[in-house]
């Protein structure tokens, strides 16, 4: 059994791994390294619940204080400087920490476009608790602040939903519809209408020609000549995996730190988990990088079990995502394909869109409804995907056909 495990990264993936290891009765010591001073907090609430006039929503990932164990040494606010796979050490503040097993959970950072990277101005990105506090403080400097958001992905839309209660919000998306890369058009339309109903000014197909900023204002101009002035501008244009440590150590990189089906990197006894790694999807073998809460937690747990059991078990987690915007709850499961066949099911306020392969096997589903209303159906669809169930599109489209019944169909 390993005696020393080093984990780089103290967000969900790293913390989940550490907690699982600490829950065992194995005689091992854990070193948990974080470049952030604040550790073990949940990131999704930062975009979903950042409301003007209310506290920054912070959810503790370690409510039972497992990380205070004598078996764990926490290096908070201390970035790992290098990894030596041959000597099996990690350097922190000039000190080399030896490991038997290393877990890299460095996550991702918000993407910054160079043209917007103007220091000392109210142009921000949202990824950390410190980012959230800064955005909130800037917004609350003004009465009825003017907020611009660049990017119609999940971060931008969730932030628009949260801030629209106390601010005038304009959102700019270069594509002709929201979330076009990840959502079917029917659900995009539902999301778009809800934002317009809430008073968010959506600018779709918007190409920004120029950006300028002072210490307290940001000025945008579109290609069509339209001009805007904001008290705060937030970029929500994706994330970049933090692979620099792994790359410098000579580990394979492929849209993230490349791992195999066991979440092992190209170096012995080194794993990578969460937003920073790309892995072969169990459903189809496609190499993917999944930025989601469940994936981070499941991969953290999986690697901990691998370390504790000393056995190679394939990671077979199914991608799953969720987003809360206003009174709407959106969930997705599986992994779609541009050429897949679609089936649409409407039932009251709930809308489900299924994706099927050429053999009519369900490979993905997206659902939207009030509150958590689609959660049960999406959960059932996850089981359909895992079972590789072969179903006629007409059955999926018929809201009178219970999904539980479809689960009983023979797997082809």
Per-residue pLDDT of the chain (412 residues; tens, 9 = 90+): 679 999 999 999 999 999 999 999 788 999 999 999 999 999 999 999 999 999 999 999 999 999 999 999 999 999 999 999 999 999 999 999 999 999 999 999 999 999 999 999 999 999 999 999 999 999 999 999 999 999 999 999 999 999 999 999 999 999 999 999 899 999 999 999 999 999 999 999 999 999 999 999 999 999 999 999 999 999 999 999 999 999 999 999 999 999 999 999 999 999 999 999 999 999 899 999 999 999 999 999 999 999 999 989 999 999 999 999 999 999 999 998 888 999 999 999 999 999 999 999 999 999 999 999 999 999 999 999 998 888 999 999 999 999 988 887 644 4
Contact, 320 vs 292, CB < 8 A? yes
The structure tokens 């096997």 sit at 361
Return the closest-CA partner of residue 241 out of 261, 257, 262: 257
343 forms bridges with which residues in the sheet?
A: 354
Domains 4-109+239-309 and 112-235 share a fold: yes
CA atoms within 13 A on the CB side of 227: 4
Which pLDDT does position 412 carry in this prediction? Answer: 45
Closest CA to 366 of 245, 156, 189: 189
Give me the pLDDT at residue 1, please.
62
Question: Which tokens hold the place of 30?
Answer: 């854990």
In the chain, where the domains are located: 4-109+239-309, 112-235, 327-407
What pLDDT shows up at residue 410? 47
Q: What's the predicted TM-score (pTM) here?
A: 0.95
CATH class of this structure's domain 112-235: alpha beta
- Cα gap 33→191, rounded to integer Å: 39
Which strands make up the sheet holding 89-92, listed edge to edge?
80-84, 89-92, 95-98
* Domain 4-109+239-309: homologous superfamily in CATH: FAD/NAD(P)-binding domain (3.50.50.60)
Q: Within a 10 A sphere around the Cβ of 321, how many other Cβ atoms?
A: 18
pLDDT at 308: 95
Q: Which single residue is written with the structure tokens 């059955």?
A: 395
What's the fold here for domain 327-407?
Enolase-like; domain 1 (3.30.390)
């Amino acid at each position: 059994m390993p005696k020393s495990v080093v984990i780089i990264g103290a967000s969900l993936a790293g913390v989940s791994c550490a907690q699982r290891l600490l829950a065992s009765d194995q005689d091992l010591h854990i070193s948990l390294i974080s470049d952030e001073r604040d550790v073990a907090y949940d990131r999704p609430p930062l975009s979903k619940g950042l409301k003007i006039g209310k506290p920054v929503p912070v959810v503790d990932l370690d409510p039972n204080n497992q990380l205070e164990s004598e078996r764990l040494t926490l290096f908070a606010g201390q970035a790992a400087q290098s990894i030596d796979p041959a000597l099996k050490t990690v350097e922190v503040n000039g000190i080399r920490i030896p490991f038997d097993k290393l877990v890299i959970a460095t996550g991702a950072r918000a993407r910054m476009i160079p043209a917007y990277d103007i220091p000392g101005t109210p142009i921000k990105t949202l990824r950390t608790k410190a980012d959230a506090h800064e955005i909130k403080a800037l917004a609350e400097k003004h009465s009825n602040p003017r907020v611009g958001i660049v990017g119609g992905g999940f971060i931008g839309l969730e932030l628009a939903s949260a801030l629209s209660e106390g601010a005038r919000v304009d959102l700019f998306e270069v594509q002709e519809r929201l979330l076009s890369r990840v959502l079917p058009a029917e659900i995009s339309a539902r999301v778009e209408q809800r934002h317009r109903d809430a008073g968010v000014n959506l600018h779709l197909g918007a190409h920004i020609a120029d950006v300028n900023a002072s210490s307290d204002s940001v000025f945008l101009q579109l290609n069509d000549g339209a001009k805007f002035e904001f008290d705060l501008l937030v970029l929500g244009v994706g994330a970049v995996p933090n692979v620099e440590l792994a790359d410098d150590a000579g580990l394979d990189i492929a849209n993230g730190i490349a791992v195999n089906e066991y979440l092992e990197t190209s170096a012995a006894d080194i794993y990578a988990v969460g937003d920073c790694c790309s892995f072969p999807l169990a459903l189809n073998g496609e190499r993917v990088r999944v930025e989601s809460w469940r994936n981070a937690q499941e991969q953290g747990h999986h690697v901990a079990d691998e370390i504790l059991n000393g056995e190679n078990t394939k990671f077979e987690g199914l991608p799953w995502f969720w987003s809360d915007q206003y009174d709407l709850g959106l969930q997705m499961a599986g992994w779609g394909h541009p050429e897949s066949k679609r089936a649409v099911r409407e039932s009251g306020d709930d809308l489900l869109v299924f994706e099927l392969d050429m053999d009519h096997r369900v490979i993905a589903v997206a659902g939207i409804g009030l509150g958590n209303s689609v959660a049960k159906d999406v959960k059932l669809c996850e089981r359909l995907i895992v079972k590789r169930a072969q179903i006629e599109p007409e059955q999926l489209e018929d809201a009178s056909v219970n999904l539980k019944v479809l689960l009983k169909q023979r797997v082809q």
